[in-house]
């Protein structure tokens, strides 16, 4: 297949490119030289979607682009950057798809479990009601723009991604230092939900959706076994052979991070009902198994 990928130089994107060896990849990037150094010179690189009049020559599109949501404190300006980095490129892709006479047969577009907002202890499925807040606002419009590309010729799959665990980046990399120093522990009371997915399973699910033409709609990209934040801290400490007993007060995070701290102090117990019903098999459904594989191999 000839596949157009956005966000290919990010944590997930780099793993996806490696997993799609054998396909012809067209990679959207502002810095083609730097991207080619990271991803390889065998791919085709485009600097802007303006270079493409249509997508008639593309079989599938995978859209992973977006400003890191935890990169900077959520000022009003940063919130707009977070929104625009997702909405603008998704809107442009949908426009290209809709003006193509022979559009790609598949459009897979990222979203996040932030769609649901804070959910307390309730188990969350793809059909659960939402809590209105900034993360939902971002994801709702992001998904709406992608779903406008759906037609008889193009199926759209939305992946609401949880916290991705892997060895070479992402949130886990940022967590490791305090835990390695024996200073890690739960956040707040530790009861909030922690919905995670091993990077290999996220890539596996993206490939599954790409290759299975009967799949479409929304898929929670999370492990079947969400856990509490306290249980995650315990599992991470165990994998590193370090204690994980020092809690981080919620108030301290609020003072340091502002509204963005809600991502850590408010959680969700999200389950991947649609992925399981479609026949995807998760390789890593146990947090101890996942962390041991990432940290000790």
Alpha carbons 159 and 135: distance in angstroms, whole number: 15
Residues 6 or more apart from 226 whose CB is under 8 A from it?
A: 123, 162, 193, 194, 195, 196, 268, 269, 270, 271
What mean pLDDT is reported for the chain? Answer: 93
Percent of the chain with pLDDT over 70: 97
Alpha carbons 13 and 166: distance in angstroms, whole number: 12
pLDDT at 170: 83
Is the pLDDT confidence value at 297 over 80? no
Is the pLDDT confidence value at 252 over 70? no
The model's pTM: 0.95
pLDDT bin (cut points 50, 70, 90) of residue 218 is very high
Number of domains in the chain: 1
**3-state SS class at 1:** coil
Alpha carbons 72 and 13: distance in angstroms, whole number: 21
pLDDT bin (cut points 50, 70, 90) of residue 146 is very high
Radius of gyration of the chain (CA): 19
Residue 53 sits in a domain of what CATH number? Answer: 3.40.50.720
Which residues form the domain of 20? 2-295
Strands 44-46 and 24-28: parallel
Q: What is the pLDDT of residues 50-87, one digit of tens each?
A: 889 899 999 999 999 998 887 788 889 999 999 999 99
pLDDT bin (cut points 50, 70, 90) of residue 154 is very high
pLDDT bin (cut points 50, 70, 90) of residue 247 is confident
Length of the chain: 297
Alpha carbons 113 and 108: distance in angstroms, whole number: 16
Residues 6 or more apart from 175 whose CB is under 8 A from it?
A: 184, 236
pLDDT at 99: 95
Alpha carbons 186 and 191: distance in angstroms, whole number: 9
pLDDT at 253: 66
Which structure tokens are listed for 118?
């804070």
Please give the average per-residue pLDDT across 244-250, as a whole number: 81
């Amino acid at each position: 297949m000839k596949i157009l990928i956005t966000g290919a130089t990010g944590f997930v994107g780099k793993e996806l490119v490696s997993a799609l060896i054998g396909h012809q990849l067209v990679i959207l990037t502002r810095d083609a030289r730097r991207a080619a150094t990271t991803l390889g010179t065998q791919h085709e690189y485009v600097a802007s979607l303006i270079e493409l009049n249509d997508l008639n020559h593309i079989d599938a599109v995978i859209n992973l682009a977006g400003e890191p949501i935890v990169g900077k404190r959520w000022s009003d300006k940063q919130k707009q950057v977070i929104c625009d980095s997702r909405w603008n490129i998704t809107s442009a892709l949908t426009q290209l798809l809709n003006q193509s006479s022979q559009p790609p047969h598949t459009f897979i577009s990222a979203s996040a479990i932030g769609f649901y907002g804070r959910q307390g202890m309730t188990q969350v499925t793809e059909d659960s009601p939402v809590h209105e807040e900034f993360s939902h606002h971002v994801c709702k419009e992001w998904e709406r723009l992608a779903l406008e590309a759906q037609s008889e010729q193009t199926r759209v799959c939305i992946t609401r991604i949880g916290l991705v665990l892997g060895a070479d980046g992402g949130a886990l990399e940022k967590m490791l230092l305090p835990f390695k120093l024996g200073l890690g522990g739960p956040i707040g009371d530790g009861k909030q939900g922690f919905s995670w997915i091993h990077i290999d399973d996220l890539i596996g699910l993206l490939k599954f959706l790409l290759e299975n033409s009967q799949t479409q709609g929304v898929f929670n990209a999370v492990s079947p076994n969400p856990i509490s934040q306290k249980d995650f801290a315990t599992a991470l400490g165990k994998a590193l052979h370090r204690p994980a007993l020092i809690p981080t007060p919620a108030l301290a995070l609020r003072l340091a991070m502002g509204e963005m701290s809600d991502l850590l102090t408010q959680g969700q117990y999200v389950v991947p009902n649609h992925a399981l019903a479609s026949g995807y098999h998760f390789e890593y459904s146990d947090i101890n198994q996942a962390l041991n594989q990432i940290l000790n191999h």
